[in-house]
Amino acid sequence: METLKRLTFVKRGEQKLYCFIEACNQIFPNVSRSTVRLWLRNSNIETLYPTLDERRVFKHANPQLKSSVFGLIRETDLKRLINEKVEKTCAKVARRSSTCPQPKLVVYSDDGSSEDDGGAISTPKTTLSLNTSNAASTVTSSSPQKMEIVETATPNSSKRVCKVVAVSPAEFPTPPSSRGTTNDSGDESTPQSAKRCRTPYKLSKQEAGEIVNTEVNELCKFYTIELNPKRNGPAFAKQTLDKLVERIYCFLYFCIHHRNVPVVTLDIFNTDTLICEYVDYLSKVRKLMPNTITAHLSCIINVIKYNFREDWSALDSCKAVMSCRSYQRQLSRQAKMIAKRGKEGLCMKKASKRFYFNHILDTLRNLRAKIFETTGVAKARHLHDFVMLATYIRVNPGRSKEIRTLQVFVESGENPFDASLFLDTNVIVFREDTTVSLIENDFKTINSTGPINMDLSEDRELVYYLHQYNLARPSLLQAKSHAYFFLNYTGEPFRDSSSLCKYLGDLFGREVSIRVSTNALRHSIVTYFKTLEDSEDLKIRESLARLMKHSLRYQQDTYDDTTAQQKTQPAREPLRRKMAADIFGQADVVITDENEGAPALGDEEMVLRPHVGDICALLDPAATADNICFFLAKVARYTSDQLEAHLIHLAPLDESETLFRLVPGKVWRERSAALLYPIDVLYNASQQAYELRTRPLDIYNMVNGH
């Protein structure tokens, strides 16, 4: 823990807080920050946001932090992280030392060439066993490396020097018999290859054979031809076709290696029983999520459609297609339930940070601050990141394809913009009159949404930064020449969605310590929009769905991460405060002259009012001492001003003048001042009715004062 003493810290209460960047540089100098952040997530350690004063302290102590955005880590968390990593490293070294064979010293002769200080190593002359001397034992005990005695010579001297050098196991030649995963010789002391191979799930093209590969190529042509009368639907994009081919070979691998079924042609996809077993294999062996299994089944359906391309009428009666679609419906329901559990925080997975729209705003603020704090290429990169996110959330909250395929065109007098040259391209146009237009012709839902031509001139702030970035863009190209608007760190366009997702993940991980993708951005935008008053307007919701290029139903079912707690809050409020407010007796009151809104009473007078659930009486205004007419009722609840009460009627039984029963559904409102209370009423269980013991004359006198 000596390193901690050299680090700057601040105190917040009783806690010591360290700068995360300084801790990474000083304690883990050979580990990337993204790896350290991964350690923090695995250990459930969260960083804290520094206050303005705390930032000044760290930036004054370390000027290199001037243009950096950083978090703070608690001293206890940092010590725990250090202890975990040291123990893990020691255990790994111990395992390697126990399994590594005893190193040998190799004495090399002076035959052959040699270089200054380092040497070309010539053919070994003698091999010696290494004795456990102090120096050698110290080196070998701390590392699994092998030791060599190398004899070298300088160019201007014939003197030869012997020295002990450490050589990693990879520098030693491995016998051909021991390079595989199995040891045919049976000698367990022979070193094995340290590389661990991932379990294969896809059949290689060599193993598939020429016939199957030829059919796969023909299938690719079938789905890529722009106009094909034998295909129902548009041509596949390159990424979709690549996934289709990959999953075809995954299915063929399962047939050959797990079911021992010989594969001759793609007609094997028409086998219903194999598809059922394949779904079970994907779920239990490969442990794929329902959505991924559904995608595999879609690829199988596409292959079956290709097989039935000459007879479409027979496709509807194919059992394999019916099984696939039945599985897809069931898996879709499972996927929706898993998504709902995730939104409610009920997943079995380790809890992770939720990504909110405020994280996007924090990232944009940090990037904008860095634009003014940096110069040169660093400023251009921050401007690139700022413009990419600002454009996304203000005018184009679509998918990753719209971002990574966006090209730029700068209009001039000699080079006017011609839209007919960009019919299949997403392009941002900087016109000669300084206005900016965004034209999109290539995105996922273009067939249902149609091409988009959007004028961005109304967003003056965004247009300003777009012009600024367009001027700084050449410094990020690194001498490359292409028209793509957004670039990776090497000046190249983003080759696919995964490269853009990794770039965004690094960006948000660096700024707000959460790695996300464009899909998470879409979720956060819709979820935050649902909290605004504008979300109650159906036209605005439809407009947002069109802007994000999906349907209104998909917006509500998929991208809305609002929890059930938040969705039911508007209904729970009236239930708790109005409809069922008095069930625990909170509103059971005694109205006196101190109650606001109650009738004025004399200084010494106090009138008791029945509580909720009590039985009271009401005297008919036309009643006289000779003809007394009254009603009995149970108090259901009072109004908010306590001036009126909701009453449930009690009707007298026909055979008795003193027994009364509740009449469900017969409720009316009466002034609180008209209620006569208390009266003597007792519940008669044998008659299942309320028995009135107060005489009618006494009820009459309670009003007339006799």
Residues 410-454 pLDDT 10s: 998 888 899 888 888 999 999 988 899 999 988 888 877 888 899
Of 345 and 672, the structure prediction assigns the larger pLDDT to 672
Question: Which is it for strands 406-410 and 426-430: parallel, antiparallel or unpaired?
Answer: parallel
At 2, which helix (H) or strand (E)?
helix 2-5
- Give the span between the Cα atoms of 173 and 442, in whole angstroms: 52
- Give the span between the Cα atoms of 445 and 519, in whole angstroms: 15
Q: Is the pTM for the entire model greater than 0.85?
A: no
Number of residues that make up the chain = 706
Q: Which tokens go with 97? A: 């030392």
- Give the span between the Cα atoms of 646 and 668, in whole angstroms: 6
Map tokens 């070309």 to a residue: 120
Identify the band that residue 555 occupies on the pLDDT scale cut at 50, 70 and 90. Answer: confident
Residue 324's φ and ψ, nearest 5 degrees, are: -60, -45
Does pLDDT of 537 surpass 80?
yes
DSSP E strands: which ranges in 392-473?
A: 406-410, 426-430, 436-440, 452-455
- Give the span between the Cα atoms of 191 and 188, in whole angstroms: 8
Of 13, 84, 10, 7, whose CA–CA distance to 45 is shortest? 84
- Give the span between the Cα atoms of 129 and 146, in whole angstroms: 12
Using a 10 angstrom Cβ sphere, with 0-12 exposed, 13-18 middle and 19 or more buried, the burial of residue 408 is middle
Which one-letter amino acid corresponds to residue 566?
Answer: Q
Q: What secondary structure letter does DSSP report for 458?
A: T
Identify the band that residue 248 occupies on the pLDDT scale cut at 50, 70 and 90. Answer: very high
- Give the span between the Cα atoms of 290 and 297, in whole angstroms: 11
pLDDT digits (tens, 9 = 90+) for 268-293: 999 989 999 999 999 999 989 999 99
pLDDT the model gives residue 116: 40
pLDDT the model gives residue 135: 40
Of 528, 530, 525, 557, whose CA–CA distance to 541 is shortest? 530
Does pLDDT of 24 surpass 60?
yes
Does pLDDT of 29 surpass 70?
yes
Estimate the crossing angle of helix 497-512 against helix 357-373, to 10 degrees.
80
Q: Provide the percentage of residues in the chain whose pLDDT is more than 70.
A: 78
Of 624, 618, 603, whose CA–CA distance to 706 is shortest? 624
DSSP string, 191-233: PPP-PPPPPP-S--HHHH-HHHHHHHHHHHHHHH-SS-TT-SS
Of 664, 668, 667, 693, whose CA–CA distance to 681 is shortest? 693
Q: Which domains does the chain have, with CATH numbers?
A: 2-96 (3.10.260.20), 208-344 (1.10.150), 357-559 (1.10.443), 614-704 (no CATH)
Cα atoms in the 13 Å half-sphere on the side-chain side of 599: 13
